[in-house]
Amino acid sequence: MRSFAALCDDLTGSSVQSILLKDRGLSVRQIIRPSGELPVPEDGEALVINCDTRRRSPAEAKEIFRRFAALLPPSTGIGKRIDTTLRGHLCDETAELLSARPGALALVVPAYPASGRTTVGGYHLLGGSLLERTEVARDPMWPVSSSYVPGYFSGRFSCGLIAMETVKLGPEAVAEALSALVSDRVSVAAADAMTAEDIEILAEGAVSVAAEIIPVDPGPFTAAFLGRKLPGRNAGTVLAIIGSTSEKTARQIAWTEGKLRCARFTLLPGERTADALPRLRAFLADLPDNADFLLIRPSPEIVRGSENTTAAVLADLGREAFRLLGRKICGILLSGGDTAAMFFEGSGAASLAPGEEIQPLMMGGRILDGEFAGLSAVTKGGLIGEEDGVYRAVQWLKKERT
């Protein structure tokens, strides 16, 4: 896959899809009024096309999806953005995409946990209730009478289910289940997901499947899938110098490593700058060009009482990493007050221009003077930020560079 096109059945949905993809660092072009032809997507680009079919008849919707799918080259992946409550021509439009891509598997992931939409046992829930027991059952244009996702495809396709028990086992189990469905010539699979992390697990498993995957979802799964599958705009590598060894920080790092291409350098217990620098230089010599996130962090087994010394060594390593990588570094994340202070002091920085509070007590800005003047920076305490705090900081720094 060199590019991607998401076919959406209404304008607001296409806007949601566009933002979710942009947040993953992808190059996105939203087509709100497509003409008879579609622009040829560039390598690494995602087209988000408003097909405006939800208000049309089934025959019209199928014709529009058939025409747009035929215009896309085989090297462009394809997917369908659906409504979060399953309204619209779900089966008919998915069928047109499968017809255009023989051998592909449509992976239907209706969950959007951030908006209260989850899927369990194949049943799609709104705020924990079955769809037919909520207000969408009384929608004047699209009354929803069933929450069972595989049922939307019965009669046309045999629809498999990636159940929560499989998702909990991790990406390898998901990949194995999807590959088995492909081998059995199943064309449509629905997937359970209750949290954002479940969607990440599904995406991680899906990218390793040999067959073409057609994402069918309201946006989060497509974004997670393409964030791994499609080469995005690499605005550079964020250098993160994190002195905190708290459990909260460890969870934030794990969240980030599950979504971005990360490289981690660990300072050993009691290691001094003179010993760590040769290891760091060798590590950086093999740093992948597409790394999103370079982490320099101490081992959790640091020697009690050596916190100040550890912070000083981390600051030294951070400055050396920046000197070696230069313009590859698009911004710096400093976590831990002592580590940040020593980094700024060692580089001659005395002032920052405040930019944005990314999360409560996590500040983004720009270094105004010293060796790294002009560089965007984020500072946070070791116990500050939500579980996605480090990830949000990295994404903010990449956007600033872009």
Looking at the fold, whether 372 and 394 belong to one and the same domain comes out as yes
Looking at the fold, whether 276 and 392 belong to one and the same domain comes out as yes
Structure tokens at 123: 């049943």
**Rounded distance between C-alpha atoms, residue 93 and residue 64, angstroms:** 9
- At 292, which CATH number? 3.40.980.20
Counting Cβ atoms within 10 Å, is residue 341 exposed (0-12), middle (13-18) or buried (19+)? Answer: middle
Looking at the fold, whether 264 and 386 belong to one and the same domain comes out as yes
**Rounded distance between C-alpha atoms, residue 154 and residue 38, angstroms:** 32
Rounded to the nearest angstrom, the gap between the alpha carbon of residue 142 and the centroid of all alpha carbons in its chain is 30
Radius of gyration, alpha carbons of the chain: 23
Counting Cβ atoms within 10 Å, is residue 287 exposed (0-12), middle (13-18) or buried (19+)? Answer: middle
Looking at the fold, whether 202 and 247 belong to one and the same domain comes out as no
Give the torsion sign (CA, 285, 316, 245, 202).
negative
Residue-number span of the structural domain to which 310 is assigned: 237-401
- When divided into structural domains, the chain yields a total of 2
Neighbours of 357 (CB within 10 A): 10
Looking at the fold, whether 212 and 175 belong to one and the same domain comes out as yes
Looking at the fold, whether 190 and 274 belong to one and the same domain comes out as no
Structure tokens at 70: 């035929």
Instruction: Show the 3-state SS of 109-137.
Output: CCCEHHHCEEEECCEEEECCEEHHHCHHH
- At 130, which CATH number? 3.40.50.10840
| pLDDT string in tens for the chain (402-residue length) | 889 999 999 999 999 999 999 878 788 999 999 987 888 888 889 999 999 999 999 999 999 999 999 999 999 999 999 999 999 999 999 999 999 999 999 999 999 999 999 999 999 999 999 999 999 999 988 999 999 999 999 889 989 999 999 999 999 999 999 999 999 999 999 999 999 889 999 999 999 999 999 999 999 999 999 988 886 555 688 999 998 888 888 899 988 887 788 899 999 988 899 999 999 999 999 888 778 889 999 988 765 667 788 899 999 999 999 999 988 898 999 987 788 899 999 999 999 999 999 999 899 999 999 999 999 999 988 778 888 899 889 888 887 755
Looking at the fold, whether 45 and 156 belong to one and the same domain comes out as yes
User: 188, 208, 228: which is the final residue of a domain?
Assistant: 228
Residue recorded with tokens 């409504």? 83
User: 205, 228, 251: which is the final residue of a domain?
Assistant: 228
Looking at the fold, whether 160 and 17 belong to one and the same domain comes out as yes
Looking at the fold, whether 203 and 258 belong to one and the same domain comes out as no
pTM over 0.85: no
Query: Which residues, in sequence order, are bridge partners of residue 298?
Result: 267
Looking at the fold, whether 195 and 79 belong to one and the same domain comes out as yes
Structure tokens at 198: 């479940």
Quickly list DSSP for 215-232: EEESSHHHHHHHHHHS--
User: 163, 193, 228: which is the final residue of a domain?
Assistant: 228
Looking at the fold, whether 339 and 286 belong to one and the same domain comes out as yes
Looking at the fold, whether 183 and 263 belong to one and the same domain comes out as no
